Amino acid sequence: MNSTSPTNPATRASVPTLFADPDFQVAGRSALGKSAQGAIDLGLTFLTLSRITDGDPSSWYQEWRDLADNQRSRAEQAHDDGHFQTAGAHFLAASDAYSRALAFVDGMPDDGVLGPTFRAGRDSWDAFIASTRGRHVAVAVPYEGGTLPGYLLRPDATGAPRPTMVVANGSDGSLPGLWAEGIRSGLERGWNVFVFDGPGQQSMLFERGVPFRPDWEKVLTPVVDSLVARDDVDGESLLAYAISQGGYWLGRALAFEHRFVAAALDGGVVDVSRTWNANLPPEMLALLHGGQKETFDQYMGQGPSDPALERQFAFRARPYGAFDSAFDLFTAVGTYTLGADLVAQITTPTLVTDPDDEDFFPGQSREMYDLLRAPKQLARFTREDGAEHHCQPLGRTLTGLTVNDFFADHLATSPHVV
């Protein structure tokens, strides 16, 4: 039974309890919200969630994997029949379901399914891109002697230069997940939308072993350089949007990259390490901040071994790089921080979303907004609108309207836009 009071709108839940396990509840809420944006039908999402054993990572994986395989089979049949639009819709659904299947792979006894499942999802995504028959295109971004995999999604295949929204993903978000978090709403405005895997994200991590880096301007600037060289991109009408921990990536990059007409941080992230450090006792924090590496590592190594927790910790640490020392890992995460001096260098007009009941970075959106010296807007999202929690999972339509109105207003007043 839900413990929230049905008579107090300030505490009433905006979605029924799907799972008792809090992490499964967060993931289930996200799945429902994204279904409302059209990647997977809501009925299929409800049906899949209803079949999952509460708190069982293997059950979560299998149900979403079964849905993904089903959608891919339907896509292939539609393609063979010459129904390319239908094939594309099913390939998009398959790619989203494959990526969703991996949400709790760190809790499974054997995470060997990660690589093959990720590849099945990316192949389905590539098939979705191909099904548009030239409307959406793959774009490899030159990066430090190699490339970043990117995709330019366009309203049509005419090649006309358009305003282009560049999306920075979160720490573990997938490309199909961005369909509900910016792609669809951007295309509906008649803009291009560019999405990509950066260091530590998706294929760059799972298939190339490239970890995160804190200086994201070294990532975003090559992306911008590639886009402004294209005939189908209006290089004077660039927009930037970031979801989840992407609020740190983009916030950092905006301090150095000033070619955007406007930007949106959904939401603001000032210090990634606060989430990591939240469960450390004061004594451990003192050791960490005092540089007491040996003692910190000794304490971290104490206590009974829990294989499940060790797997989860290793999985969450993996994107930051390979570390033999817990102290070195926590110290590295501590470099993902935006100080007032960096934020003061941002000149791009910036919107920051700020939802009720932020789960992962509480208070940081308002903190980021207060630090900004550029033209700015704080967009509040509330329980009363059913748009609370991290990145407003059940308020994605409202989020898209709010962010894109901010973008449209700044495009309209830009001296470069005709």
What is the tens place of the pLDDT at every residue in 320-370?
A: 999 999 999 999 999 999 999 999 999 999 999 999 999 999 999 999 999
pLDDT at 310: 81
Q: Which helix (H) or strand (E) holds 241?
A: strand 233-243
Share of the chain above pLDDT 70, in %: 95
More confident residue, 184 or 17: 184
3-state SS assignment for residue 365: helix
Question: What pLDDT was estimated at residue 415?
Answer: 67
Q: For tokens 């063979």, what's the residue? A: 80
Q: What radius of gyration, in Å, describes the C-alpha atoms of the chain?
A: 21
One domain, residues 215 and 116: no
pTM: 0.94
Assess whether 30 and 104 both reside in one domain.
Answer: yes
Residue 1 lies in a domain: no
- Both tokens of residue 408? 């449209």
Other C-beta atoms lying within 10 Å of the C-beta of residue 3: 7
* Whether pLDDT at 300 is above 50: yes
The predicted-structure confidence for 134-150, as pLDDT tens digits, reads as follows 999 999 999 999 999 99
User: Where among 333, 356, 379 does a domain terminate?
Assistant: 333
CA distance 193 to 182: 8
In a domain, 6, yes or no: no
Whether 218 shows a pLDDT value over 50: the answer reads yes
The CATH number linked to 412 is 3.40.50.1820
8 A C-beta contact, residue 175 and residue 202:
yes
- The per-residue b/e assignment along 247-265, b for 16 or more CB within 10 angstroms, e otherwise, is bbbbbbbbbebeebbbbbb
Both 361 and 397 in one domain: the answer is: yes
Residue 198 pLDDT more than 70? yes
Judge whether 388 and 365 are in contact, CB under 8 Å.
Answer: no
Question: Per-residue DSSP letters for 119-137?
Answer: HHHHHHHHHHHHHTTTSEE
**250 and 116 assigned to the same domain:** no
Same-domain pairing of 58 and 84: yes
Q: What is the pLDDT of residue 3?
A: 33
Same domain, 125 and 56: yes
Q: How many domains does the chain have?
A: 3
Structure tokens at 48: 């899949």
CA gap 132, 92 in Å, rounded:
11
The sign of the torsion formed by the CA atoms of 326, 331, 335, 338 equals positive
Q: Does some domain include residue 198? A: yes
Q: How many Å apart are CA 17 and CA 288, to the nearest integer? A: 38
Q: Tell me what pLDDT residue 36 has.
A: 84
Instruction: Let me know if residue 11 belongs to a domain.
Output: no
Residues 267 and 293 in one domain: no
pLDDT at 6: 34
Are 311 and 106 in contact, with CB atoms under 8 Å apart? yes
| CATH label of the domain that carries residue 44 | 1.20.1440.110
Residues 294 and 317 in one domain: yes
Per the CB < 8 A criterion, the answer to whether 114 and 206 are in contact is yes
pLDDT of the residue at 301: 84
In order, the DSSP letters of 132-161 are TTTSEEEEEEEETTEEEEEEEE-SSSS---
- Residue 194 sits in the same domain as residue 317: no
- Print the domain residue range for 61: 18-133
The rounded distance, in Å, linking the Cα atoms of 29 and 260 is 32
Task: Answer yes or no: do 103 and 233 share one domain.
Answer: no
Same domain, 285 and 397: no
Count helices and strands in the chain by DSSP H and E runs: 17, 8
Whole-angstrom distance, CA of residue 352 vs CA of residue 363: 12
Closest CA to 248 of 281, 210, 201: 201
CA dihedral 185, 362, 100, 200 (to 10 degrees): 90
| Beta bridge pairs of residue 354 | 380
- Closest alpha carbon to 187 in 151, 220, 163: 163
Contact 60, 24 (CB under 8 A): yes
* Cis peptide bond N-terminal to 395, omega within 30: no
**219 domain-assigned:** yes
Q: Which of 91, 112, 133 is the last residue of a domain?
A: 133
Concatenating the DSSP letter of every residue in 56-124 gives -HHHHHHHHHHHHHHHHHHHHHHHHTT-HHHHHHHHHHHHHHHHHHTTTGGGSS-GGGHHHHHHHHHHH
Per residue in 28-75, pLDDT (tens digit) is 999 999 898 888 999 999 999 999 999 999 999 999 999 999 999 999
Residues near 361 by beta carbon (within 8 Å), at least 6 away in sequence: 247, 267, 268, 269, 270, 274, 275, 390
If asked whether residues 323 and 396 sit together in one domain, one would say: no
| Pairwise CA distance, residues 172 & 191, whole Å | 25
Q: Give the closest residue to 214 by CA, choosing from 368, 335, 321.
A: 335
What does the alpha-carbon distance between residue 209 and residue 189 come to, in Å, rounded to a whole number?
36
Calculated CA dihedral for residues 337, 340, 343, 347, nearest 10 degrees: -170
27-31, 192-196, 253-257, 311-315: least confidently modelled range: 311-315
